[in-house]
């Protein structure tokens, strides 16, 4: 199930019932607010948050002044969107960095919330932002916690400071102090401290976290919260706020939470912003939390900006220019096709990307049935070809296709389908690159769209196609002399009327119009 899937379905359905109504009555608004309240409560949103939210939405919807640019239903959607942004934290808040490095970021939370994995994700994100992070192993209680941080750090390409073996051995406060000196000596500009968690909130956990905080004076204390714990999110957050206090929240396992109660409750109840969200198992499934974009996703309005940012990170600008040149010169090969697919995979899950498009909830069934392994299979087929075959697919005769199918573990039919799809895609791309409009299979010509330059050139070079030999000879002679032979009935003028040589209606056309108007 996608992030906020159930909540999104319920909210969009409640708002969809308002469509088509020219005027909204108080009963219409009350009914919609009632459905929104049920959706939020079913999503494990805190009761006090639900009351404030629905009360504000109802009050604003009833008192909304008429906006000529929006119909009443759109106005209610706008109000709900703005209020969702509000309870998610309002404006985006970025990390606060120290004026004098290193910046210290302390992670706190319950055991099982995903702090150690999150430390690696945060380190990888910091490196992409131009920082040099150091991970510090201060969770010396949980079995193999130090080893796990070392593995995660290696995967993220970040240094790990772990002088103690853990498993109950070592003083976490002393490790944190020593890590600060080590970071200054080795010129790491960000220190990320992974602290111990417990299965539940207890005095020992709070005391240790508070001691580490006093010893390191962190610039940010991030409370790592499992988004799937529902109503307990508020209770846990309040306990940590009272015991240690924190400056921001990080939501983990957000991809596995179809309800979203934690995200919609914690910022409003604690008054602390959500800074990051972990949306998957990979180290790159990590992003800054932007309330406005998250609200748009919940209401199925799409998140095009995040999609564009992911594309910019995955695609190299120089390679994109080279690819455009290849398309324009008809030299696009299966090797290029393979590179494009590999870059697409760098962007992450295709399901998630498609889910960021407006109205994607309407494609829920198709998205759930979409098999992302199809790209892996396509890569296997292309990689089973020889360099010559990738450069020139016309070499692929029956025996070669059989060899490729066996080498990739696929069937000859799969190979044939790939080659056919590649040919169609290459033709469409070449047409677009040359300024034309591609002919999509199953669709006719697009009305009102100029054909490609190549097609226009062919049309201009041809002479008259009239079936009357005398008329054809006269029109060809007129073309040769450079005069525009006026057709008897032009199909390009408005209202289906012929046009004069200057593009204006002829005298006969004006007479016809006058006759029609006089009836």
Q: What is the pLDDT of residues 11-68, one digit of tens each?
A: 888 887 777 677 778 888 888 889 888 888 888 888 888 899 999 988 888 876 655 5
* 320, two tokens: 């994109």
Which helix (H) or strand (E) segment holds residue 317: the answer is helix 317-328
In this structure, what are the phi and psi dihedrals at residue 91, rounded to the nearest 5 degrees? -80, 150
Confidence grade of residue 80 (pLDDT, cut at 50, 70, 90): confident
Q: What is the pLDDT of residues 325-354, one digit of tens each?
A: 665 555 678 887 787 777 766 665 655 665
**pLDDT over 70 percentage in the chain:** 66
Rounded Cα gap, residues 515 and 519, in angstroms:
7
Domains of the chain: 5-87 (1.20.120.140), 103-300 (3.40.50.300), 311-433 (1.10.260.30)
> Nearest Cα to 124, choosing from 287, 328, 284, 332?
284
Find residue 138's DSSP bridge partners.
Answer: 195
Helix, strand or coil, per DSSP, at residue 505: strand
Q: What is the pLDDT of residues 134-165, one digit of tens each?
A: 999 999 988 899 999 999 999 999 999 999 98
For the beta carbon of residue 511, count every other beta carbon within 10 angstroms: 11
Which helix (H) or strand (E) segment holds residue 383: the answer is helix 373-383
């Amino acid at each position: 199930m996608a992030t906020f899937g159930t909540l999104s379905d319920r909210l969009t359905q409640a708002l969809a019932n308002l469509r088509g109504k020219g005027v909204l009555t108080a009963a219409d608004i009350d009914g919609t607010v009632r459905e929104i309240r049920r959706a939020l409560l079913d999503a494990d949103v805190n009761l006090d948050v639900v009351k404030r939210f629905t009360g504000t939405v109802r009050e604003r919807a009833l008192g909304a002044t008429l906006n000529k640019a929006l119909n009443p239903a759109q106005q209610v959607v706008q109000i709900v969107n703005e209020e969702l942004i509000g309870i998610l934290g309002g404006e985006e808040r970025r990390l606060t960095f120290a004026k004098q490095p290193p910046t210290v970021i302390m992670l706190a939370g319950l055991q099982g919330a995903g702090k150690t994995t999150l430390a690696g994700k945060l380190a990888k994100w910091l490196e992409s932002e131009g920082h040099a992070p150091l991970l510090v192993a201060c969770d010396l209680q949980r079995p193999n916690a130090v080893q796990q941080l070392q593995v995660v750090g290696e995967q993220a390409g970040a240094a790990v400071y772990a002088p103690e073996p853990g498993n109950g051995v070592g003083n976490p406060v002393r490790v944190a102090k020593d890590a600060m000196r080590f970071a200054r000596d080795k010129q790491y500009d960000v220190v990320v401290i992974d602290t111990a968690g417990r299965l539940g909130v207890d005095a020992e956990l709070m005391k240790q976290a508070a001691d580490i905080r006093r010893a390191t004076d962190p610039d940010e204390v991030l409370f790592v919260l499992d988004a799937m714990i529902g109503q307990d999110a508020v209770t846990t957050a309040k306990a940590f706020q009272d015991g240690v206090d924190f400056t921001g929240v990080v939501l983990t396992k957000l991809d596995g939470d179809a309800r979203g109660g934690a995200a919609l409750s914690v910022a409003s109840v604690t008054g602390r912003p959500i800074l990051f969200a972990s949306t998957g198992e990979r180290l790159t499934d990590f992003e800054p939390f932007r309330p406005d974009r998250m609200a748009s996703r919940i209401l199925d309005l799409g998140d095009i900006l995040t999609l564009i940012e992911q594309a910019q990170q995955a695609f190299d600008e120089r390679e994109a220019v080279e690819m455009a040149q290849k398309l324009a010169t008809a030299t696009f090969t299966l090797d290029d096709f393979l590179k494009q697919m590999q870059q697409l995979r760098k962007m992450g899950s295709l399901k998630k990307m498609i889910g960021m498009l407006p109205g994607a909830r309407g494609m829920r069934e198709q998205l759930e049935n979409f098999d992302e392994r199809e790209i892996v299979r396509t890569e296997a087929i292309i990689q089973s070809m020889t360099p010559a075959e990738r450069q020139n697919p016309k070499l692929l005769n029956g025996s070669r296709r059989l060899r490729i199918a066996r080498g990739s573990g696929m069937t000859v039919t799969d190979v044939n389908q790939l080659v056919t799809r590649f040919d169609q895609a290459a033709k469409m791309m070449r047409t677009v690159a040359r300024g034309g409009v591609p002919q999509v299979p199953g669709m006719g010509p697009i009305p009102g769209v100029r054909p490609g330059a190549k097609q226009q050139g062919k049309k201009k070079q041809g002479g008259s196609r009239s079936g009357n030999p005398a008329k054809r000879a006269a029109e060809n002679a007129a073309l040769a002399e450079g005069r525009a032979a006026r057709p008897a009935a032009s199909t390009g003028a408005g209202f289906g009327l012929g046009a004069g040589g200057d593009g204006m209606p002829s005298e006969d056309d004006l007479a016809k119009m006058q006759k029609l108007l006089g009836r």
